[in-house]
Copies of this chain bind each other. A is one copy, B any other.
Amino acid sequence: MDKPKNENDLKNISEEALIRKITKSFKKKNDSTIIDIGDDAAVLKFDESNIAMSQDILVEGVHFDLSYVPLKHLGYKSVVVNISDILSMNMKPSHVLVSIAVSNRFKIEAIEELYAGINLACSNYNIDLIGGDTTSSNKGLMISVTCIGNTNKKNITKRSGVNEDDLLVVSGDLGAAYMGLQVLEREKKVFEVNPKSQPDLSNYTYCIQRQLKPEARIDIIKLLEEMKINPTAMIDISDGLSTEINHLSNSSGLSFHIYEDKIPILEETKNVCDEFKINHSIAFLNGGEDYELLFTVSKRHEKKIVSSEYLTIIGSSIKKKEDNCMITNLGQKININSTGWDSFNDEN
């Protein structure tokens, strides 16, 4: 018999439901607050500038495993994932605050490695590190990053802006970061059994790189500007396509149909899926950490989108009469309301 679920246990609540619960009694007090909780980033307005802010916290053993994540990559990724949140608001990232709590089992050189990665991300994305906090922890490493962006555009691209019959578009390809994680986890186990093993990872280069050193799609934001396409809504894919589609759906009050055969997934990723006996659609629907941009645009932009090698139309928005669905290659409709990764419910 299953143990009865205690409704007051953190493991029995989703992150989204917890946030709703703890923030419902907060009241807005400042006119400068344009968007607060519930989008990729908060937006404040001072004078004519809209300023976006996102904050993440990464915990050793929950979000990263230092047995296979090099510290420099970790520093890079911790900044990039926050940049990605600012880009999702169609804004230009400009500054970061980085705080770390670190146990003194770490050497100073290790912290320098971490900051070398942070510095590289700041250089590549033209961002200034402006502050933060450096303190000790009694176990492991935690990193908290706040990213700031800005725009002079009048319209902010919110999750709620989807219109009926908009096209749903994704940049790049999906599922590779998740499969990279599977490879790294397997190699970790092999290494634990046989520390002398010399793994040949040449078949997994792309997937591993997508997991360890993701990039935020600032090039796509520039491309959309050049193409004079203003997305009606945008989000980045951090927790898996199905979760992000659900976020767009909940915020906009519309539903989505996507088509399995339209999802961009590379041959290498498919091969790794097959090797691990993981259904391709699990990798792109639930996998996460792709940091691609998922956005909606008016149908009149269809030709321009189709002409770009970096963008793929994967579906469209419909009235919320039915659930969010994926039409499979065999023509079946499957419900994709299930969520991707949720740290409170992680079984690992």
Contact = CB atoms under 8 A, between A and B. Distances in A.
Interface of A: 7-11, 13, 15, 18-19, 21-23, 25-30, 32-33, 35-37, 41-42, 44, 46-49, 51, 53-57, 59-63, 94-95, 97, 99-102, 104, 106-109, 111-112, 114-115, 119, 122-123, 126-140, 142, 144, 146, 148, 150, 343-344, 346
Given A11-B104, A101-B142, A108-B21, A136 B46 contact: no
B54 A23 contact: no
Contact of A62 (B101, B111, B122, B344): B101
This chain's copy number in the assembly: 2
A13 B134 CA distance: 12
Nearest to A94: B30
Contacts of A100: 57
A146 B55 contact: yes
Interface residue SS majority, chain A: mixed
Contacts of A13: 108
Contact of A133 (B26, B51, B55): B55
Contacts of A33: 95, 128, 130
Nearest to A22: B115
Contacts of A136: 10, 59, 62, 343-344, 346
Nearest to A12: B108
Contacts of A8: 107-109
B26 A122 contact: yes
Contacts of A63: 135
Q: Which 3 A-B pairs have the closest CB atoms?
A: A42-B130, A47-B47, A144-B144
Nearest to A50: B46
A37 B131 contact: yes
Contacts of A59: 101, 135-138, 142
Given A62-B101, A104-B10, A119-B26, A55 B132 contact: yes
B130 A36 contact: yes
23 contacts: A15-B134, A19-B134, A21-B108, A21-B112, A22-B111, A22-B115, A23-B129, A33-B130, A35-B130, A36-B130, A44-B148, A47-B48, A49-B49, A53-B97, A53-B130, A53-B146, A55-B131, A57-B142, A59-B135, A59-B136, A59-B138, A60-B138, A62-B137
A102 to B, nearest CB: 7
B131 A54 contact: yes
Interface centre among A49, A100, A127, A135 (most CB of B within 10 A): A135
A10 B110 CA distance: 10
A71 to B, nearest CB: 12
